[in-house]
């Protein structure tokens, strides 16, 4: 059976962060029962397209999915398990914000079936929380982390670095504080200013490249000193606590996307399709899928297994990579390759987009 992940997108937030370019809306008085009913129906629809799947993970993302009432979370989990065979110890993740924690929320989410909680903290000081447009205080963040630790064995927080005028020593101390919390996983994202965000409209700039690179190196050093392994460009985990759902994306396994903003990649007969709301499918060529998997796979520290790559898209790596560019990148120490594997080196991680563009001839 083929491996499958289920992604359930909740597009609503209490407020829009100024750096966010994800699909989300600020809206009150949402009829959750109506939305969840449509989600249940969509799960049935995608099950009808391919019955040769084993579900390995469910991920509630957004938006702010911790705004969904736990009873509806439970309904979606139960529906998934009734439609597909599911792996033992199924990973069921949910993203939450500290400003949605009412004191009982995380216990209720655990009761509903969530077994991995990812908390969107973003900064561990009041000044940068305010700059990033977060509506929770530092005290709320620490209180929510404590509640997460009490209720879950598998947990993560997100932090954003390379903020304007961020000093290396400040980031090092902040990251050490985060590591001392006792979490199993941390996601560290470099601030990028995307078009059509509030930051872009206001002309906000992230840290200069040389500072951002120094902060990236500090991140690696601090995380290693606390025994966190970097398994993807922005993600660190203690042993056996990698996010299996996200690994599915990066390794090229199929996934169903539910909700407005949720996309998917699924096999229908012998072809692979991009799926998107509402119940739309468009075929993806083998070359398009191969280029997509190259971009995703090179994010992984372990790189791309060539045999698995061929199995997942039907095209060999040698058919899509610019060989001249590859040889130059290898010579310059950005890429390592042997007969089974290709990966970006430590030196190449900070210029990953440049490497990918060269390999696919952009």
228 falls within a domain: yes
Same structural domain for residues 159 and 224? yes
- Asked which of 247, 276, 309 is the last residue of a domain, the reply is 247
| Shared-domain flag, residues 316 and 180 | no
**Distance linking the first and last C-alpha atoms of the chain:** 36
CB distance 268 to 281 below 8 Å: yes
151 and 35 Cβ atoms separated by less than 8 Å: no
Based on the fold, state whether residues 230 and 309 are members of the same structural domain: no
pLDDT averaged per 10 residues, the chain (length 362): 96 91 82 97 97 96 96 98 97 96 94 98 97 96 97 98 95 98 98 91 91 95 98 97 97 96 94 96 95 96 95 91 95 96 94 93 70
Query: H or E segment at 265?
Result: strand 264-268
Contacts with 205 (C-beta within 8 Å, 6 or more apart), sequence order = 164, 193
pLDDT of residue 362: 65
* 119/184 Cα distance (integer angstroms): 12
Are 148 and 221 contained in the same domain? Answer: yes
Are 133 and 200 found together in one domain?
Answer: yes
Q: Do 227 and 326 fall within a single domain? A: no
Residue 23 pLDDT: 75
Question: Which residue from 256, 267, 307 is spatially nearest to 289, judged by alpha carbons?
Answer: 267
**Residue 335 maps to a domain:** yes
Residue 122 and residue 13 in one domain = yes
Q: In whole angstroms, how far apart are CA 157 and each of 66, 168, 361?
A: 14, 20, 36
Q: What is the CATH number of the domain that holds 58?
A: 3.80.30.20
Considering only CA atoms, give the Rg of the chain: 20
How far apart, in whole angstroms, are the C-alpha atoms of residue 288 and residue 125?
42
Domain boundary (190, 225, 247) is at 247
Count of domains observed in the chain? 2
| Residue 39, in any domain of the structure | yes
Domain assignment of residue 266, yes or no: no
DSSP letters, 189-252, are EE----TTSHHHHTT-----HHHHHHHHHHHHHHHHHTT-EEEETTEEESTT-S-HHHHHHHHT
CA distance 32 to 75: 12
Lookup: tokens for 64: 């702010």
**Burial tier of 292 (Cβ tally within 10 Å: 0-12, 13-18, 19+):** middle
The packing angle between helices 286-297 and 244-251, to 10°, is 130
In a domain, 64, yes or no: yes
14/106 Cα distance (integer angstroms): 18
321 with 228, same domain: the answer is no
Give, as one character, the DSSP assignment of residue 350.
G
Domain around 348: 290-362
241 and 315 co-located in one domain: no
Separation CA 200–CA 119 (nearest Å): 25
Residue 241 contacts residue 117 (beta carbons within 8 Å): no
Residue 71 confidence (pLDDT):
98
Q: 215 and 88, same structural domain? A: yes
**Where a domain ends, among 226, 247, 268?**
247
Shared domain check, 323 and 233: no
Asked whether the bond before 343 is cis by omega within 30 degrees of 0, the reply is no
DSSP state at residue 337: E
The answer to whether residue 256 sits within a structural domain is no
**Does 80 share its domain with 224?**
yes
Rounded alpha-carbon distances, angstroms, from residue 278 to 37, 73, 151, 195, 215: 14, 21, 35, 25, 41
Residue 146 CA from chain centroid, whole number: 23
Is residue 271 situated within a structural domain? Answer: no
Q: Is residue 262 part of a domain?
A: no
CATH number reported for the structural domain that contains residue 322 in this entry: 1.10.10.920
């Amino acid at each position: 059976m083929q491996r499958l992940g289920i992604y359930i997108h909740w597009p609503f937030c209490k407020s829009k962060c100024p750096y966010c370019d994800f699909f989300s809306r600020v809206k009150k008085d949402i009829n959750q029962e109506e939305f969840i009913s449509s989600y249940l129906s969509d799960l049935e629809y995608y099950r009808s397209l391919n019955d040769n799947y084993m579900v390995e993970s469910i991920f509630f993302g957004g938006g702010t999915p911790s705004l969904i009432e736990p009873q509806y979370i439970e309904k979606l989990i139960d529906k998934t398990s009734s439609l597909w065979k599911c792996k033992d110890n199924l990973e069921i993740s949910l993203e939450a914000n500290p400003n949605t924690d009412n004191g009982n929320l995380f216990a209720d989410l655990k009761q509903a079936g969530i077994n991995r909680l990812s908390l969107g903290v973003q900064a561990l000081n009041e000044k940068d929380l305010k700059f990033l447009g977060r509506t929770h205080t530092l005290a709320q963040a620490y209180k929510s982390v404590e509640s997460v630790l009490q209720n879950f064995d598998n947990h993560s927080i997100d932090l954003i670095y390379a903020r304007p005028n961020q000093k290396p020593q400040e980031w090092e101390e902040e990251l050490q504080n985060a590591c001392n919390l006792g979490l199993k996983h941390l996601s560290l994202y470099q601030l990028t200013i995307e078009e059509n965000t509030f930051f872009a409209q206001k002309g906000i700039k992230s840290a200069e490249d040389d500072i951002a690179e120094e902060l990236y190196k500090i991140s690696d050093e601090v995380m290693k000193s606390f025994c966190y392994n970097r398994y993807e460009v922005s993600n660190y985990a203690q042993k056996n606590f990698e996010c299996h759902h996200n690994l599915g994306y990066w390794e090229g396994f199929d996934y169903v996307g539910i909700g407005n903003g949720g996309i998917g990649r699924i096999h229908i007969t012998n072809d692979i399709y991009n799926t998107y709301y509402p119940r739309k499918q468009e075929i993806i060529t083998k070359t398009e899928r191969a280029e997509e998997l190259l971009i995703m796979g090179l994010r992984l520290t372990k790189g791309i297994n060539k045999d698995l790559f061929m199995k997942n898209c039907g095209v060999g790596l040698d058919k899509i990579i610019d060989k001249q560019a590859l040889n130059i990148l290898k010579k310059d120490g950005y890429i390592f390759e042997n007969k089974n594997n290709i990966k970006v080196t430590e030196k190449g991680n900070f210029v990953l987009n440049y490497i990918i563009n060269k390999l696919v001839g952009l």
